[in-house]
A and B are shown apart, each in its own frame.
Chain A
Amino acid sequence: MKNKVGHLKLLRVKLRALVLVRRVAGFVLIAVGVAALVAALPVETVKAASPDTSANSSIMDDCLSCHIAKVPDPAIEQIEPLSLHDQLGSGNKACTVCHSMDDKHLGSLVLRDGTQIPFSDAPKLCGQCHQKRYDQWLQGIHGVPHWSEGIPGMGTAQNKTAWPAGQYNWNNVVGQNNTAPVLDQILKELPNFLGGEKKACTVCHNPHHPAIVLSSVIKPHPVAAPAPPPAPVTPFVVLGGGLLLAIGIGAAIGRRQG
């Protein structure tokens, strides 16, 4: 009798276990099914820039694939994704607003009317939109630089380096010579008078990322006053000698008091 009861209990446990296994297997199958369905759904994914292999374009028409590449080629200059100026167009079109499509890898820019200009004339390009700033720059009252050696590492988006070490004072300053002879001429040329060489816009502003690079516009604090000359040693020797001399003479010539 005992065996039968124990046997029954055992059977019941086994039965429960089987039911459990069945249920779990069912859930697993449901999960796998749902996953398969989901995987099969057509979902929009971010497509990596890929070469546009349409008939009327060459591989050179797609700027971003090389210049913002996932696996950058060390021979190709990498840039940050455009900010602010990316509103000029979407994707590659933003690049072509400024960079000439005909001659893009030989270094020229293009104005709105299609004229090509060399990189050194970049201010004219910037001036198309930033007219007021361009006028001020022409007058010499915007971006007045004072150092002929320029600013190291300018034009790169990540540049936040400090000025090269040195004393920034009248010795580092470069300006035109004071040759204006008459007051009228001085007044006329005064905006340019202390201007020094004009530097192009890109010296201070990175057109790919205008906001960040303004930090490079900062100039170092003018140098503090020089320390005064050190205490001369010889006069102290003279002082000491004089004191001893005074004591000696006094002791020698004076009468004892009393």
Chain B
Amino acid sequence: MKQIGRRDFVKYSTGSVALILLGKYTAFPHVEKLIAGAPAAQGASVKPKSVPIDYNSPDPPAADPRHRFAMVIDVDACVGCRTCQWGCKMENNVPDTISPPFIEIFQLENGQSVTEEPSVEDLKKGATTSYTEAPLEGHWYMPVQCMHCTNPPCVKVCPVGATYKDKDGIVMINYNTCIGCRFCIAACPYSARRFNWFKPNIPANLVNPLVPVRPIGVTEKCTFCVHRTRRGLLPRCVEVCPPRARRFGDLNDPESEVSKWLGYGRSFALLEELNTGPNLRYVARGKKWTTA
């Protein structure tokens, strides 16, 4: 029986690969332009000329493996003012088309947990994010954002490895690799990840040049302000919190604020039983609106 010759096989397979590569480098840039706009339009208007932030370069600085970043929030001090939410939005160039921004704040009644509702009819009495007055008597406030888990389900499910846990504990996203399949959004128990359903639109003079403006079709989330924390600053939400309810630091450093706060006594984290190992924990120090 005649078989396909070796020469023919090599011919056909090389031809197919060449065809695929040709398609990738000629046709696909046009498809990308169709979806995300021309490369110039993606970020040029927001970059001042003298700060050459290359979208593809490893900016911010590389991770320092000696750190193990974590955040602690004192829910007794939190007054639900949403300053952190707006500060994060402005610091990280979160467009209006992503709602809520990376941080969301729940108002709960005293004695109520965030996942508890007494019954289906009582669903409307549960935790709410749409409160217009705060702080109210008999209520407490809990901000939720990416927990930068030790065992992150979002990292496990990404089909292209766009999201990864960096050496200093921050769960990062490579916006160039993300294909927008949104598996990570479905996998996150904390609903902490956001997707760019639309082209982002931020006034050019208000964009923070240290943070890339993400293109349409990719996922984004809280990064513990990686552009600040790897340069020795605090995340913006920690900085602007009026009652100073948030602390950020290095768990490997016993003198850091997070180590101290976690050492005081009990702390809790959300959905711990799912074995995600969240690195954002909550304490209740009993002093409302502390100035310490």
Contact A162/B99 with A194-B90, A218-B82, A219-B83 known, Cβ cut-off 8 Å: no
Contact A214/B133 with A173-B90, A221-B100 known, Cβ cut-off 8 Å: no
Contact A175/B291 with A217-B242, A218-B133 known, Cβ cut-off 8 Å: no
Shortest beta-carbon distance from A220 to chain B in Å:
7
Query: CA of A171 to CA of B206 in the docked complex: distance in angstroms?
Result: 10
A131 to chain B: closest residue by CB: B291
Q: Tell me the interface secondary structure of chain B in the complex.
A: loop
Set of chain A residues within 8 Å of B228, measured between Cβ atoms? 190
Query: CA of A226 to CA of B198 in the docked complex: distance in angstroms?
Result: 9
Among A141, A170, A222, which residue has its beta carbon within 8 angstroms of that of B240? A141
| Interface presence of B166 (CB below 8 A) | no
Q: Please report the total number of B residues contacting A with Cβ < 8 Å.
A: 49
Set of chain A residues within 8 Å of B48, measured between Cβ atoms? 178-181
Shortest beta-carbon distance from A145 to chain B in Å:
10
- List, sorted by A's number, 13 A–B pairs whose CB atoms are closer than 8 Å: A162-B133, A163-B132, A173-B90, A175-B90, A178-B206, A178-B207, A181-B50, A194-B90, A222-B96, A222-B101, A225-B96, A225-B98, A226-B198
For A162-206 the 0/1 string (1 means CB < 8 A from B) is: 110000011101010111111100110011011000000000100
Among B82, B130, B289, which residue has its beta carbon within 8 angstroms of that of A219? B82
Query: CA of A221 to CA of B197 in the docked complex: distance in angstroms?
Result: 20
| Interface presence of B209 (CB below 8 A) | yes
For B150-184 the 0/1 string (1 means CB < 8 A from A) is: 00000000000000000000000000000000000
Contact A226/B97 with A133-B291, A181-B48, A191-B239 known, Cβ cut-off 8 Å: yes
Shortest beta-carbon distance from B21 to chain A in Å:
35
Contact A193/B240 with A215-B134, A218-B132, A224-B99 known, Cβ cut-off 8 Å: no
Contact A218/B134 with A143-B242, A144-B87, A186-B210 known, Cβ cut-off 8 Å: yes
Query: CA of A163 to CA of B82 in the docked complex: distance in angstroms?
Result: 13
User: Are A214 and B289 in contact, with the CB atoms below 8 A?
Assistant: yes
User: Are A173 and B239 in contact, with the CB atoms below 8 A?
Assistant: no
| Interface presence of B2 (CB below 8 A) | no
Interface residues of chain B, those whose CB is within 8 Å of chain A, are 48, 50-51, 79-83, 85-87, 89-91, 95-101, 129-136, 197-198, 201-210, 228, 231, 233, 239-240, 242, 289, 291
B131 to chain A: closest residue by CB: A218
A211 to chain B: closest residue by CB: B289
Residue of B228, B239, B242, B291 contacting most chain A CB atoms (<10 Å): B242
User: Are A215 and B96 in contact, with the CB atoms below 8 A?
Assistant: no
Which 3 pairs across A and B sit closest by C-beta, in order of nearness? A169-B96, A219-B82, A224-B99
User: Are B206 and A175 in contact, with the CB atoms below 8 A?
Assistant: yes
B100 to chain A: closest residue by CB: A222
Query: CA of A219 to CA of B267 in the docked complex: distance in angstroms?
Result: 28
User: Are A186 and B87 in contact, with the CB atoms below 8 A?
Assistant: no
User: Are B135 and A215 in contact, with the CB atoms below 8 A?
Assistant: yes
User: Are A221 and B129 in contact, with the CB atoms below 8 A?
Assistant: yes
User: Are B51 and A186 in contact, with the CB atoms below 8 A?
Assistant: yes
Among B80, B133, B135, B197, which residue has its beta carbon within 8 angstroms of that of A225? B197
| Interface presence of A231 (CB below 8 A) | no
Residue of B197, B198, B207, B239 contacting most chain A CB atoms (<10 Å): B239
User: Are A220 and B209 in contact, with the CB atoms below 8 A?
Assistant: no
A130 to chain B: closest residue by CB: B291
Shortest beta-carbon distance from A164 to chain B in Å:
12
Contact residues of A between 115 and 169, Cβ < 8 Å to B: 130, 132-133, 141-144, 146, 160, 162-163, 169
Among B79, B100, B129, B204, which residue has its beta carbon within 8 angstroms of that of A214? B79
Query: CA of A231 to CA of B91 in the docked complex: distance in angstroms?
Result: 35
| Interface presence of A48 (CB below 8 A) | no
| Interface presence of A223 (CB below 8 A) | yes
Contact A170/B85 with A190-B233, A191-B239 known, Cβ cut-off 8 Å: no
Set of chain B residues within 8 Å of A181, measured between Cβ atoms? 48, 50-51
